[in-house]
Amino acid sequence: MTKTYKLEGLDCANCLAKMERKIGRLKGVKSVSSNFFTEKMTIEADDELINEIEEEAAKIVKQYEPQAVFKKA
């Protein structure tokens, strides 16, 4: 399953790259891609783990950019 998310309020392209790497290491994640300028992230993951991955991804985003909002696009 592939889902796209909006990352509102990003300030740091380097932080986004760190988020992408960390989310990419989560169990069940097949691939992650992001774009700083469009503030979007696409995650391809196992269907049965997508809800857990979304929760963990939101935590990771808050860890690097506390003001950013991670939501479904």
| pTM flag (> 0.75) | yes
Name the residue ranges covered by the structural domains of the chain. 2-72
Stretch (H or E) spanning 4 = strand 2-8
Q: Per CATH, is 2-72 categorized as 3.40.50.920?
A: no
In angstroms, the CA 16 to CA 34 distance is 8
Angle at 55 between CA 67 and CA 50, to 5 degrees: 135
* pLDDT confidence bin for 73, thresholds 50/70/90: confident
Token representation of residue 65: 């950019």
pLDDT tens digits, residue range 21-69?
A: 999 999 999 999 999 999 999 999 999 999 999 999 999 999 999 999 9
Q: Please report the pLDDT score of residue 62 as a whole number.
A: 96
Q: Sign of the CA dihedral 42, 43, 48, 49?
A: negative
